Amino acid sequence: MANSAWSEKMIQLLRRMNNFYSPGSCRTNCFRFEIEGTQVGWIPPHVAPLLARYPEVFNRPHGGAVSLCSSLDSYEKRSEAVDKVLQTLRKEENLVFLKGWRNERYSVMPMYSDPPLMWMERAATSLFGVKRYGVHVNGYTVSDSGEMRMWLARRSPTKQTYPGMLDHVAAGGLAADAGIKHTLIKECEEEACIPSAIAERAKPVSTVSYTYVEEGEVFPESQFVFDLELPREFNPRVGDGEVQEFYLLPLDKVKELLASNDFKPNCAMVVLDFLIRHSFIEPDSEPHYQEFVAGLHQTV
C-alpha cells in the first residue's frame, strides 16, 4: 500500500475513534453526568428521559447536567441505587449495549487518580459516557541484528466484541478495585500463558486516549500501554479461549495490517503508538506525524 493511502487509513481510524469531538456529533446535545458537582461522564440525549423516571436516584436535568440525588451520599449507596435502575432498564428497554451485560464492575471517578465515587456495570458505562480504563501489552522480540517483531493475537470468533479480529498479545479492562500491574499480569497469564516472572518485566510506556460515539452512546476510554520484550524462545499459548491463534510478525507487516480493517480499532491505535515510539514512523517521512500523535492522546 502506498504511503499516502496508508496514512489516510490511519487518519480515518483516528477520526473514527475520536468522532465525539467531530462537528455534528451528539456532544452538543449530551448532558454532563455529575456526582457531588463533579463531572464524571456524558449522558446521551436519548438516555436522559429514561433516567428521569427514577427521581429518587437522578435529579432532573438542570443547567445541562444530570446529577445523582444528594441523599446518595456514599460509594455504596450510589452504586446500589444506580445498579438497581440499570437492572430494570436492562429488562425493559431496547438499549443495545445493555444486552452485553458482563457482571463486571468498573470504577466511576473524574480522573483515574481520584478516589472512585461509585462502581457501574461495564456494559452500562456508555449510557453515561463514563471513562473506561484498560491495559494493553505490546509483546515483541528483538533479534541479534536488532530486528523487532511483534506478537499479535487473533480474537476468538465467539468474543462478544470484535470477534475474529487482530488484537494484542494481552489486553483487558480495569475492573473496580483492580490495580494496573495486577491486571497486566492476570491478562498475560489468562490470555497468552505468559508466566508472571516474564510479565513483570513489562514497562509502562504510554497512554492512548480517545472518545467515540457508537449507536448513539459515548465511549471515553484510556489505555495504559506497556511494552514487553519476550524471550525469543518463548511462544504465547492460547489460555482462556479469548484468543484463537498467535502470530509473530515483522513490524513492516504489522504496519501494513494496521490499514487492513482487520485490527480491533483501539488495538490499531496502540500499535500505531508503538511504531511511533520505536521510530518506525518518523516525522521526516510521515507528513501526518503530528496528527497521528494528537489523535492518540485526545481527552475530554
Residue-wise pLDDT for 241-281, tens only, equals 788 999 999 999 999 999 998 999 999 999 999 999 999 99
Do 57 and 73 contact (CB within 8 A), yes or no?
no
Three-point CA angle 26, 27, 31, nearest 5°: 105
User: Is 122's pLDDT higher than 80?
Assistant: yes
Q: What pLDDT is attached to residue 158?
A: 86
Tell me the DSSP string of 257-294. HHTTT-B-HHHHHHHHHHHHHTTSS-TTT-TTHHHHHH
pLDDT, mean of residues 111-132: 96
Strands (E), 118-189: 118-121, 132-142, 148-155, 166-168, 170-173
Range with the poorest average pLDDT among 37-41, 106-110, 116-120, 155-159: 155-159
Strand 31-35 and strand 203-214: the pairing is unpaired
- Average pLDDT over every residue of 158-185: 93
Dihedrals phi, psi of 117, to nearest 5 degrees: -95, -20
CATH architecture of the domain with range 3-20+132-295 = Alpha-Beta Complex (3.90)
Residue 53's Cβ-side half-sphere holds a number of Cα atoms within 13 Å equal to 11
- Average pLDDT score over residue span 222-250: 93
pLDDT value, residue 1: 53
12's enclosing H/E stretch is helix 3-17
pLDDT at 199: 98
Distance (Å, rounded) from C-alpha 150 to C-alpha 169? 9
> 274: burial class by Cβ within 10 Å (0-12, 13-18, 19+)?
buried
Residue 143's pLDDT is 95
Pairwise CA distance, residues 75 & 105, whole Å? 13
Contact 266, 210 (CB under 8 A): yes
Contacts of 95 (CB under 8 A, 6+ apart): 89, 127
Helix (H) or strand (E) holding 189: helix 180-192
Q: What's at 69, amino acid-wise? A: C
Residues of the chain with CATH 3.90.79.10: 3-20+132-295
Q: Which of 116-120, 160-164, 199-203, 292-296 has the lowest mean pLDDT?
A: 160-164
Overall average pLDDT of the 68-81 stretch = 97
Which of 117, 98, 112 lies closest to 216, judged by CA? 98
Rounded Cα gap, residues 233 and 251, in angstroms: 19
* Per-chain mean pLDDT for the chain: 94
Which has the closest alpha carbon to 210: 37, 14, 22? Answer: 14
Q: How much is the pLDDT for 80?
A: 98
The percent of residues above 90 in pLDDT, for the chain, comes to 88
Residues whose CB is less than 8 angstroms from the CB of residue 286 and which lie 6 or more positions away in sequence, other chains included = 3, 7, 292
Q: Does CATH number 3.30.750.160 belong to domain 24-128?
A: yes
Sign of CA dihedral 123, 129, 133, 137: positive
Q: What is the mean pLDDT of residues 88-96?
A: 82
pLDDT of 300: 61
Kindly report, residue by residue over 154-170, the tens digit of the pLDDT: 999 988 888 999 999 99
Give the pLDDT score at 241.
77
Residue in this structure with the C-alpha cell 495490517, named with its chain if needed: 257
